[in-house]
Amino acid sequence: MLAALRCVIWRDLTLAMRRRSDFVTVLLFFVIVVSLFPLGVGPEPGLLRTIAPGVIWVAALLASMLALSRLFAADHADGTLEQMLLSATPLGMIVAAKALAHWLVTGLPLVLMAPVLALQFDLPQAHFGVLVLSLLLGTPVLSLIGAIGAALTLGLRGGGALLALLVLPLNVPVLIIGAGAVDAVASGLGAQAHLLLLTAFLVTAAAFAPWVVAVALRISVE
């Protein structure tokens, strides 16, 4: 089973490298959205420091959604998804491997880029660690929840808009807690509670979301 999961991850990463425009578009979208806010709200340092966590988290959420519609679409189009359904490896495990590959391609670059973009907002460097850690815990949750929406809208006409309507409300708690972690540090309260909540979200999503996606995929294929 582990060998099969490694093959799924390696296959998705290889395909992503062949279609570099997909994850480059996600990264450029993230950079552009975050960079527009300092231009729009003005150069006031206090205001920029206040809005920095929320802006970066909202941009990361929107950027991660760009590639969600293609998470299962290519496999569905070429018949690979049907082979996955017939595989001896549990479909939930295959989904977890695909979600991990999706996060490595789309989520991890956003996490690494966030401290550089935070410099535009004059965010204190002491807060960079909490920002990166909150994104490191939260962005996999975005990928797992997004996989549910991608599976439910697979093959539907206009599925991209429906996917956004399904996924965005579910991601609101992660967004609030993730952005609030940096705000808590800035106010001197500490971010431990926020990070623990994000960890709980991640564990819960990792335990249940792949199996929910597996059921949704079977329904969509049928």
Per-residue pLDDT tens for 32-45?
A: 999 898 888 877 88
Residue 202, pLDDT score? 94
Higher-pLDDT residue of 105, 161: 105
Residue 66, pLDDT score? 84
| DSSP class per residue in 24-56 | HHHHHHHHHHHHHHHHHH-S-HHHHHHHHHHHH
Mean pLDDT within 20-39: 87
Amino acid at 52: A
Mean confidence (pLDDT) of the chain: 87
Residue 177, pLDDT score? 93
Higher-pLDDT residue of 2, 173: 173
Provide the percentage of residues in the chain whose pLDDT is more than 90: 31
Question: Which residue has tokens 């808009």?
Answer: 161
| Contact of 159 with 153, CB cutoff 8 Å | yes
Residue 159, pLDDT score? 66
| Contact of 68 with 167, CB cutoff 8 Å | yes
Give 7's pLDDT tier (boundaries 50, 70, 90): confident
pLDDT in tens, 125-159: 888 999 999 999 999 999 999 899 888 888 777 66
Query: Whose CA is closest to 180, among 115, 127, 126, 104?
Result: 127
Query: Whose CA is closest to 147, among 82, 91, 190?
Result: 91
Query: Whose CA is closest to 144, among 219, 64, 79?
Result: 64
The CA-based angle 51-122-25, given to 5 degrees, is: 70
Mean pLDDT within 181-200: 88
Query: Whose CA is closest to 99, among 195, 186, 193, 12?
Result: 12
Residue 209, pLDDT score? 92
Report residue 105 as tokens: 């391609």
Residue 21, pLDDT score? 76
